[in-house]
Copies of this chain bind each other. A is one copy, B any other.
Amino acid sequence: MNVAFQGVHGAYSEAAARVMLGKEISTSPCETFGQVFERVERRRSDRGVIPIENSLAGSIHENYDLLLAHGLHIVGEIHERIEHALLCPRHSTLGDLTSVRSHPQALAQCSKFLLAHPSLHPVPFFDTAGAASAVAMDARPDTGAIAGAHAARLYGLKILKRNVENSANNYTRFLVLSRTPFGKFARGAKTRSSIVFTPAANRPGILFHILGVFALRDIDLLKIESRPDPRSAFEYRFYADIAGGPHEEHVARAFEHLGEIVSQFRLLGTYPAAVGPGLRRRPRGAGRY
Protein backbone atom coordinates (compact mmCIF):
# COMPACT_ATOMS: atom_id res chain seq x y z
CA MET A 1 0.00 0.00 0.00
CA ASN A 2 1.32 3.41 -1.00
CA VAL A 3 0.30 6.44 1.07
CA ALA A 4 0.70 10.07 0.00
CA PHE A 5 1.41 12.81 2.57
CA GLN A 6 2.41 16.48 2.52
CA GLY A 7 5.97 17.26 3.59
CA VAL A 8 9.29 15.45 3.43
CA HIS A 9 10.14 12.04 4.90
CA GLY A 10 9.99 12.26 8.68
CA ALA A 11 6.97 14.59 8.73
CA TYR A 12 4.34 14.16 11.44
CA SER A 13 1.79 13.16 8.75
CA GLU A 14 4.03 10.30 7.63
CA ALA A 15 4.41 9.08 11.21
CA ALA A 16 0.60 9.22 11.65
CA ALA A 17 0.17 7.23 8.41
CA ARG A 18 2.39 4.45 9.76
CA VAL A 19 0.49 4.32 13.06
CA MET A 20 -2.84 4.06 11.22
CA LEU A 21 -1.95 1.94 8.21
CA GLY A 22 1.00 -0.14 9.39
CA LYS A 23 4.77 0.10 9.37
CA GLU A 24 5.09 -1.81 6.11
CA ILE A 25 3.40 0.84 3.91
CA SER A 26 5.42 2.78 1.35
CA THR A 27 5.02 6.55 1.53
CA SER A 28 5.10 9.30 -1.10
CA PRO A 29 5.99 12.83 0.01
CA CYS A 30 4.10 15.65 -1.75
CA GLU A 31 4.88 19.35 -1.84
CA THR A 32 1.30 20.48 -1.27
CA PHE A 33 -1.92 19.09 0.23
CA GLY A 34 -3.53 19.41 -3.21
CA GLN A 35 -0.94 17.00 -4.61
CA VAL A 36 -1.87 14.44 -1.94
CA PHE A 37 -5.48 14.48 -3.21
CA GLU A 38 -4.33 14.29 -6.85
CA ARG A 39 -1.99 11.35 -6.25
CA VAL A 40 -4.83 9.33 -4.71
CA GLU A 41 -7.35 10.35 -7.40
CA ARG A 42 -4.93 9.40 -10.20
CA ARG A 43 -4.28 6.00 -8.56
CA ARG A 44 -0.62 6.78 -7.96
CA SER A 45 -1.22 6.29 -4.23
CA ASP A 46 -3.76 4.02 -2.54
CA ARG A 47 -4.41 6.35 0.39
CA GLY A 48 -3.69 9.92 1.45
CA VAL A 49 -3.12 11.14 5.00
CA ILE A 50 -3.80 14.78 5.87
CA PRO A 51 -4.04 16.79 9.11
CA ILE A 52 -7.54 18.29 9.59
CA GLU A 53 -7.37 20.06 12.96
CA ASN A 54 -4.91 20.82 15.73
CA SER A 55 -5.77 21.40 19.38
CA LEU A 56 -3.75 24.64 19.44
CA ALA A 57 -4.11 25.93 15.88
CA GLY A 58 -7.68 24.80 15.04
CA SER A 59 -9.20 23.45 11.84
CA ILE A 60 -7.14 23.40 8.67
CA HIS A 61 -9.62 25.08 6.30
CA GLU A 62 -7.43 24.44 3.27
CA ASN A 63 -7.97 20.71 3.70
CA TYR A 64 -11.74 21.11 4.16
CA ASP A 65 -11.73 23.05 0.89
CA LEU A 66 -9.77 20.27 -0.81
CA LEU A 67 -12.17 17.63 0.59
CA LEU A 68 -15.03 19.56 -1.06
CA ALA A 69 -13.15 20.13 -4.33
CA HIS A 70 -12.23 16.45 -4.72
CA GLY A 71 -14.31 13.29 -4.58
CA LEU A 72 -12.28 11.28 -2.06
CA HIS A 73 -13.75 9.61 1.05
CA ILE A 74 -12.57 9.80 4.64
CA VAL A 75 -12.01 6.20 5.77
CA GLY A 76 -10.10 6.70 9.04
CA GLU A 77 -8.93 9.16 11.68
CA ILE A 78 -6.37 9.35 14.47
CA HIS A 79 -5.45 11.88 17.16
CA GLU A 80 -1.69 12.11 17.53
CA ARG A 81 0.19 14.06 20.17
CA ILE A 82 2.79 16.34 18.57
CA GLU A 83 6.03 15.99 20.53
CA HIS A 84 9.00 18.08 19.49
CA ALA A 85 12.60 16.94 20.12
CA LEU A 86 15.91 18.79 19.86
CA LEU A 87 18.05 16.93 17.31
CA CYS A 88 21.72 17.38 16.31
CA PRO A 89 24.52 15.61 14.45
CA ARG A 90 25.82 12.50 16.25
CA HIS A 91 28.95 14.01 17.77
CA SER A 92 27.47 17.32 18.90
CA THR A 93 26.54 18.27 22.43
CA LEU A 94 24.07 20.89 23.66
CA GLY A 95 27.06 23.19 24.35
CA ASP A 96 28.18 22.98 20.69
CA LEU A 97 24.86 24.22 19.29
CA THR A 98 24.48 27.87 18.35
CA SER A 99 21.50 27.60 16.00
CA VAL A 100 18.32 25.51 15.79
CA ARG A 101 16.29 25.15 12.61
CA SER A 102 12.57 24.42 12.50
CA HIS A 103 9.21 25.63 11.26
CA PRO A 104 8.34 28.99 12.88
CA GLN A 105 5.22 27.45 14.48
CA ALA A 106 7.31 24.64 16.04
CA LEU A 107 9.88 27.19 17.26
CA ALA A 108 7.04 29.21 18.82
CA GLN A 109 5.68 26.05 20.45
CA CYS A 110 9.13 25.54 22.04
CA SER A 111 9.64 29.18 23.07
CA LYS A 112 10.10 28.37 26.78
CA PHE A 113 12.95 25.93 26.06
CA LEU A 114 14.56 28.40 23.65
CA LEU A 115 14.27 31.26 26.17
CA ALA A 116 15.96 29.04 28.77
CA HIS A 117 18.79 28.35 26.28
CA PRO A 118 19.62 31.78 24.85
CA SER A 119 22.74 30.45 23.10
CA LEU A 120 20.44 28.58 20.67
CA HIS A 121 19.57 30.99 17.87
CA PRO A 122 16.25 29.93 16.24
CA VAL A 123 16.35 29.79 12.43
CA PRO A 124 13.03 29.46 10.56
CA PHE A 125 12.68 26.60 8.07
CA PHE A 126 9.83 25.39 5.85
CA ASP A 127 9.03 22.30 7.89
CA THR A 128 10.31 20.39 10.88
CA ALA A 129 11.38 17.22 9.03
CA GLY A 130 13.01 19.33 6.29
CA ALA A 131 15.01 21.12 8.98
CA ALA A 132 16.17 17.74 10.36
CA SER A 133 17.11 16.58 6.86
CA ALA A 134 19.13 19.75 6.21
CA VAL A 135 20.89 19.50 9.59
CA ALA A 136 21.90 15.92 8.75
CA MET A 137 23.06 16.93 5.26
CA ASP A 138 25.11 19.91 6.46
CA ALA A 139 26.46 17.95 9.48
CA ARG A 140 27.66 21.12 11.19
CA PRO A 141 28.37 20.48 14.89
CA ASP A 142 26.83 23.88 15.79
CA THR A 143 23.48 23.42 13.99
CA GLY A 144 20.52 21.47 15.36
CA ALA A 145 16.84 21.06 14.50
CA ILE A 146 13.52 20.82 16.33
CA ALA A 147 11.43 18.01 14.83
CA GLY A 148 9.74 14.74 15.73
CA ALA A 149 11.90 11.99 17.27
CA HIS A 150 11.11 9.76 14.25
CA ALA A 151 12.99 12.26 12.06
CA ALA A 152 16.14 11.58 14.14
CA ARG A 153 16.05 7.87 13.32
CA LEU A 154 15.38 8.58 9.66
CA TYR A 155 18.23 11.06 9.17
CA GLY A 156 20.75 9.55 11.62
CA LEU A 157 20.59 12.46 14.06
CA LYS A 158 21.01 12.32 17.83
CA ILE A 159 18.07 13.16 20.13
CA LEU A 160 19.56 15.72 22.54
CA LYS A 161 16.30 16.35 24.38
CA ARG A 162 12.74 15.10 24.03
CA ASN A 163 9.56 17.09 24.67
CA VAL A 164 10.97 20.57 24.29
CA GLU A 165 7.43 21.82 23.52
CA ASN A 166 5.72 24.30 25.90
CA SER A 167 2.37 22.52 26.05
CA ALA A 168 1.54 18.83 26.36
CA ASN A 169 -1.86 19.67 24.89
CA ASN A 170 -0.70 19.67 21.27
CA TYR A 171 -2.70 17.10 19.34
CA THR A 172 -3.33 16.87 15.63
CA ARG A 173 -6.22 14.92 14.14
CA PHE A 174 -5.24 13.21 10.89
CA LEU A 175 -7.61 11.69 8.30
CA VAL A 176 -7.07 8.80 5.88
CA LEU A 177 -8.45 9.40 2.38
CA SER A 178 -9.41 6.78 -0.17
CA ARG A 179 -11.07 6.62 -3.61
CA THR A 180 -13.77 4.31 -2.22
CA PRO A 181 -15.84 4.65 0.99
CA PHE A 182 -15.12 2.48 4.02
CA GLY A 183 -16.69 -0.95 3.43
CA LYS A 184 -18.90 -2.73 5.97
CA PHE A 185 -18.68 -1.88 9.63
CA ALA A 186 -18.73 -4.58 12.27
CA ARG A 187 -21.93 -4.73 14.31
CA GLY A 188 -21.74 -2.24 17.21
CA ALA A 189 -18.59 -0.61 15.83
CA LYS A 190 -18.24 3.03 16.89
CA THR A 191 -18.31 5.15 13.78
CA ARG A 192 -18.13 8.85 13.00
CA SER A 193 -19.35 10.80 9.98
CA SER A 194 -18.00 14.13 8.76
CA ILE A 195 -20.41 16.37 6.89
CA VAL A 196 -20.34 19.85 5.36
CA PHE A 197 -23.50 21.85 4.73
CA THR A 198 -24.77 25.29 3.79
CA PRO A 199 -28.17 26.26 5.18
CA ALA A 200 -30.76 27.00 2.49
CA ALA A 201 -32.26 29.95 4.36
CA ASN A 202 -30.57 32.70 6.29
CA ARG A 203 -32.85 33.39 9.21
CA PRO A 204 -32.28 33.54 12.96
CA GLY A 205 -32.38 30.10 14.49
CA ILE A 206 -31.74 28.13 11.30
CA LEU A 207 -28.78 26.33 12.92
CA PHE A 208 -31.07 25.42 15.84
CA HIS A 209 -33.42 23.75 13.37
CA ILE A 210 -30.53 21.97 11.69
CA LEU A 211 -29.17 20.63 14.98
CA GLY A 212 -32.71 19.53 15.82
CA VAL A 213 -32.43 17.01 12.96
CA PHE A 214 -29.77 15.24 15.01
CA ALA A 215 -30.86 16.08 18.57
CA LEU A 216 -34.42 14.84 18.07
CA ARG A 217 -32.99 11.50 16.90
CA ASP A 218 -30.50 11.27 19.81
CA ILE A 219 -27.55 11.48 17.44
CA ASP A 220 -24.39 12.82 19.10
CA LEU A 221 -22.85 15.93 17.60
CA LEU A 222 -19.07 15.59 18.01
CA LYS A 223 -17.91 18.75 16.24
CA ILE A 224 -19.52 21.89 14.87
CA GLU A 225 -17.83 24.84 13.26
CA SER A 226 -19.04 27.76 11.15
CA ARG A 227 -16.60 28.74 8.45
CA PRO A 228 -15.94 32.48 8.18
CA ASP A 229 -16.07 33.51 4.54
CA PRO A 230 -16.55 37.26 4.33
CA ARG A 231 -16.18 37.26 0.54
CA SER A 232 -19.20 35.27 -0.50
CA ALA A 233 -22.08 36.38 1.66
CA PHE A 234 -24.31 33.41 0.88
CA GLU A 235 -21.71 30.72 1.21
CA TYR A 236 -21.49 30.21 4.93
CA ARG A 237 -20.50 26.65 5.55
CA PHE A 238 -20.73 24.43 8.57
CA TYR A 239 -18.45 21.54 9.33
CA ALA A 240 -19.95 18.93 11.61
CA ASP A 241 -19.03 15.49 12.85
CA ILE A 242 -21.70 13.17 14.22
CA ALA A 243 -21.61 9.75 15.83
CA GLY A 244 -22.70 6.96 13.51
CA GLY A 245 -23.28 6.82 9.77
CA PRO A 246 -25.93 6.25 7.09
CA HIS A 247 -25.52 2.47 7.45
CA GLU A 248 -27.76 3.06 10.50
CA GLU A 249 -31.35 3.87 9.65
CA HIS A 250 -31.81 6.79 12.08
CA VAL A 251 -28.70 8.52 10.65
CA ALA A 252 -29.79 7.85 7.06
CA ARG A 253 -33.15 9.45 7.90
CA ALA A 254 -31.44 12.39 9.60
CA PHE A 255 -29.39 13.04 6.44
CA GLU A 256 -32.59 12.92 4.35
CA HIS A 257 -34.25 15.36 6.75
CA LEU A 258 -31.17 17.60 6.60
CA GLY A 259 -31.49 17.65 2.81
CA GLU A 260 -34.83 19.46 3.25
CA ILE A 261 -33.22 22.32 5.22
CA VAL A 262 -29.81 22.83 3.62
CA SER A 263 -28.90 23.95 0.11
CA GLN A 264 -25.61 22.08 -0.04
CA PHE A 265 -24.81 18.88 1.78
CA ARG A 266 -21.86 16.53 1.44
CA LEU A 267 -20.99 13.44 3.43
CA LEU A 268 -17.18 13.46 3.46
CA GLY A 269 -17.05 9.96 4.88
CA THR A 270 -18.08 7.52 7.60
CA TYR A 271 -15.22 5.78 9.37
CA PRO A 272 -14.30 3.99 12.60
CA ALA A 273 -14.19 6.60 15.41
CA ALA A 274 -10.67 6.95 16.76
CA VAL A 275 -9.70 6.54 20.36
CA GLY A 276 -6.75 8.91 20.53
CA PRO A 277 -4.09 9.00 23.22
CA GLY A 278 -6.00 11.70 25.06
CA LEU A 279 -9.40 10.32 24.25
CA ARG A 280 -8.65 7.00 25.90
CA ARG A 281 -9.04 8.79 29.19
CA ARG A 282 -12.35 10.22 28.11
CA PRO A 283 -15.14 9.03 30.36
CA ARG A 284 -18.30 7.59 28.93
CA GLY A 285 -20.56 10.27 27.55
CA ALA A 286 -17.95 13.01 27.50
CA GLY A 287 -17.73 15.17 24.46
CA ARG A 288 -21.32 14.60 23.50
CA TYR A 289 -23.00 17.73 22.32
Contact = CB atoms under 8 A, between A and B. Distances in A.
Interface of A: 32, 53-62, 79, 103-104, 111, 124-126, 168-169, 171, 173, 199, 202-209, 211-212, 214-216, 218-221, 223-226, 228-234, 236, 238, 276-279, 281-283, 285-289
Count of chain copies: 2
A52 to B, nearest CB: 10
A132 B53 CA distance: 31
A46 to B, nearest CB: 27
B206 A208 contact: no
Given A104-B126, A124-B126, A204 B219 contact: yes
Contacts of A283: 233-234
B61 A60 contact: no
Given A224-B225, A226-B223, A287 B202 contact: yes
Given A55-B229, A59-B59, A236-B289, 11 more contacts: A32-B111, A57-B62, A202-B289, A204-B218, A207-B215, A207-B224, A211-B211, A230-B279, A233-B279, A233-B281, A233-B282
B212 A278 contact: no
B287 A233 contact: yes
Contact of A125 (B124, B211, B238): B124
21 contacts: A57-B62, A58-B228, A59-B59, A124-B125, A124-B126, A171-B231, A203-B285, A203-B288, A204-B214, A204-B215, A204-B219, A204-B288, A205-B211, A205-B216, A207-B215, A208-B208, A208-B221, A233-B281, A234-B283, A236-B286, A236-B287
Contact of A61 (B58, B61, B199, B277): B58
A215 B208 CA distance: 6
